[in-house]
Amino acid sequence: MEQFLKDQIKITLSGTKELTYKIKLYNNPFVLRWLQELKNIIRQKLILEKNYCFIGFADGTRDLTFLCKELNVSIKQINDFNFSQAWQLAGLEPYKIERNFTPTDFMESEDLPIGRQLEGCRLKHEACNELHRYFEDLQGQAWNLSKYYYAADNKTKYAIRQLNNICHEIEGWVNAYRKSKFEPEWIRPSQITTFLHAPRKPLQDSDYELFKQNRYDRELGGVYLHWSQVGKTLYEVWRDHDEAVGEGGINAQELYSGEFDIEWGQTITDANDFKKTETEEFKKWLKDNDYDWEDPKLALGYIKLGQVDLNESFGTDNFLEVYKQMLNCLNIKKIKITGGKQIENVYNYSLSDSNWKDIQINELRKGYESHTLR
């Protein structure tokens, strides 16, 4: 069996210039099933979620000040909805988030010394964990949506969704900004490629071995299965020191979609001493909490789907050079699948359009209106 499928994915980015890169996909039964889901997404022309796409680009325009402003807009929408009485009519207590967030809630001061063991610009996990719990309370799980989510109107459902998206984007930006101050070669940018209303399928028993094959390795240009559920993995709970995560908020991956993530940071594996140490610490935490590192159903790791052909696409496999080429074109314009019958879709809207939120809310309404008590 060949290592790669004949099918390849070509993604065109736009901005001040255009750039197209090619993804080669591994030839195994799971990737074939996953690829069919992605083809269905493209055929159905589902909306690409562009406001939650390029994460951890320290030099991007969506900085911490901007993200806090967007977050507070969503919080205001949720709080204002309390006065509609819809939740009360559904037998629910009003759910009010009693604060707005500022950059200082999420990041230590730049005036502090910055370095690997120093506190300057370090991410504050407590605010992120708090925000994530608001989201879990209000949306629930993919298989058990919250009563608040059912009773909310479309704009409030959208605002609830943004609590999660913006939380993860803040985490990525703060970590990248801090690294840019003393170790720019270790910035961790990534691409989260998600679509509105992407169908989800259950993983098969044989798929779980793929988590063990890759574990937590992240390679520059690596293409990985997207996390298609609400909640935190065991690794995220350990990493974020989030021992207070809500009931049902910790779960192993059970579902997948045709969505995918791309690692645009420098390769990190257990061949790196600090990563090996981190893995050993995580394994100890698992054992102390009665989890088995070898249990495949815990989905401890990332399923790798394929690899960007860096040299053909960028003319280099050097992280900083790839990063520089991408900075001015952080907008996905087109996704094309070649190999058999060619399938493609062009994503015309961008975040510079004044109506981009309306475009998403109008598309999400189809699903929102099928998940409502009214």
- pLDDT at 21 exceeding the cut of 60: yes
191 to each of 25, 226, 236, 328, how far by Cα in Å?
Answer: 17, 10, 18, 15
Q: pLDDT category, 248, cuts 50, 70, 90?
A: low
* Contacts of range 16-21, beta carbons closer than 8 Å, 24 or more positions apart: 16/328, 16/329, 17/328, 17/329, 18/329, 18/333, 19/313, 19/314, 19/325, 19/326, 19/329, 20/313, 21/308, 21/309, 21/313, 21/314
Strand partners, 193: 260
pLDDT tens-digit series, residues 114-171 = 998 999 999 999 999 999 899 989 998 766 788 898 888 889 999 999 999 999 999 9
Nearest to 96 by CA among 78, 83, 112: 78
- pLDDT at 1 exceeding the cut of 50: no
Share of the chain above pLDDT 90, in %: 73
**pLDDT attached to residue 142:** 63
Would you state the structure tokens that stand for residue 256, as one six-digit string? 């997948």
Range in 108-112, 160-164, 225-229, 366-370 the model is least confident about: 366-370
Q: pLDDT category, 301, cuts 50, 70, 90?
A: very high
- pLDDT at 370 exceeding the cut of 50: no
Is the distance from CB of 291 to CB of 233 less than 8 angstroms? no
Please provide the DSSP assignment of 145-214 as one string: E-HHHHHS-HHHHHHHHHHHHHHHHHHHHHHHHHHHHH-GGG---EEEE-BTT---EEPPGGGGHHHHHH
Higher pLDDT among residues 333 and 94, named by residue: 333
Rounded to an integer, the average pLDDT of 88-109 is 92
- pLDDT at 243 exceeding the cut of 80: no
Domain assignments of the chain as residue spans, ordered by start: 57-187
Rounded to an integer, the average pLDDT of 98-111 is 96
- Among the ranges 96-100, 104-108, 184-188, which has the highest mean pLDDT value? 104-108
Rounded to an integer, the average pLDDT of 205-225 is 97
Is the distance from CB of 256 to CB of 34 less than 8 angstroms? yes
Other beta carbons within 10 angstroms of residue 121's beta carbon come to: 23
**pLDDT attached to residue 257:** 97
**pLDDT attached to residue 175:** 95
**pLDDT attached to residue 372:** 35
Amino acid at 222: G
Rounded to an integer, the average pLDDT of 232-251 is 75
**pLDDT attached to residue 249:** 64
Is the distance from CB of 8 to CB of 22 less than 8 angstroms? yes
Is the distance from CB of 229 to CB of 144 less than 8 angstroms? no
What whole-number distance in Å separates Cα of residue 352 and Cα of residue 248? 37
Is the distance from CB of 303 to CB of 28 less than 8 angstroms? no
**pLDDT attached to residue 368:** 45
